[in-house]
A = this chain, B = another copy of it.
């Protein structure tokens, strides 16, 4: 019935162990839970335990036992692109971009939605819910529809038009919320306890977060298990960072890779609670935040996951940084022109932070650096160029082309 090597849930704080049921926190200390796997079988079998394509290729290291529950829209298996032109511009020896835009709903969220909705099926739920700035909502709605589940999507009133259209098209119930993400999340997280729906939020659900671990497994396979020296991941509450770090750690424990890459946490300066605490060597102080173009990073209060990110950064000698909105938009333009990759502000914040950390000599340009580009540019809402068109005849067209190419 199953090739999943998941064996238990364990508290990251007190170490208490639980069977593989739907449980969001430790009974003893309310700590966050993470999944534990049969390490020995993973070690002896090696990467040959993986077969097939896309996210479910990694089902042995994912917590869904029945293949019938493994909902898919074709997520995962995204490109890892070598970007020599941009690397040269930035003075980096080698730059790899893990482009998660080409996922079914255009973002990295599809990895966690796949395992979240699969877990909703596994635990017999008929409805899901999430509070979202846009990307998570689109993704959870799409996967819920695919699985035939009801979804209650709470969408931010300033979400971009492409994101809102996407959510409205795929969800059974779209609810627009007023106010900041952090405030609604606190209320919504309390309601989760009543188990009216399956938790598709980023705060606690270990089954949801687990899907993003496949980023690390893909990067490792795509580099023949010689992963980059550093991996820059986006951080809102920290799901992608924690999952990616875990994936690399699991592979090192299994002896598949020699070492875990330097993990770099990238935030928007306008929502930089974690990178600020890291810089100050302090605990996290929740921030009251406003709008940032990196909509998916707009969390001012990263909660317990934020503490976990900080712990991983400190234990693993990782680093953190943040970028201003104008730096993020500049990185977006630069990536599009240098390499033809069109990523959204949320997706390209990692690159903006990478550029800043190189400038501050906090990253070594003699290394291979990888950034996760978590979002397609197609969800970007901005003023399009003027639609003032020109009508052409043979002569005027030839003249225009000749003049342009002479420049």
Residues of A at under 8 Å CB distance from B?
53-54, 72-74, 77-79, 81, 85, 99, 101-106, 127, 129, 138, 141-148, 150, 152, 157-158, 161-162, 164-166, 168-170, 172-179, 184, 187-188, 190-191, 194, 196-197, 332-333, 336-342, 376-382, 384-394, 397-398, 400-402, 404-405
Contact = CB atoms under 8 A, between A and B. Distances in A.
Contacts of A179: 389, 391
A150 B158 CA distance: 36
B384 A176 contact: no
Contact of A173 (B190, B378, B404): B404
Among A147, A337, A340, A384, max chain B CB count under 10 A is at A340
Given A102-B103, A145-B337, A385-B176, A377 B152 contact: no
B401 A129 contact: yes
A50 to B, nearest CB: 14
Contacts of A339: 145-146
B165 A377 contact: yes
Q: How many copies does the complex hold?
A: 2
Contact of A104 (B73, B102, B170): B102
Contact of A385 (B72, B77, B144, B168): B168
Contact of A101 (B53, B104, B129, B389): B104
A74 B54 contact: no
B166 A378 contact: yes
Nearest to A396: B187
B74 A170 contact: no
Contact of A378 (B85, B106, B177, B178): B106
Contacts of A164: 384-385, 387
Nearest to A167: B385
A142 B102 CA distance: 14
Contacts of A190: 394
A385 B177 CA distance: 13
Nearest to A379: B378
Nearest to A77: B77
A161 B105 CA distance: 18
Contacts of A337: 145, 169-170, 172
Contacts of A340: 73, 104, 141-147, 170
Contacts of A176: 385-390
A79 B85 contact: no
A175 B378 contact: no
A387 B174 CA distance: 11
A390 B385 CA distance: 33
Contacts of A393: 187
Contact of A178 (B173, B333, B381, B391): B391
B77 A53 contact: yes
A145 B72 CA distance: 32
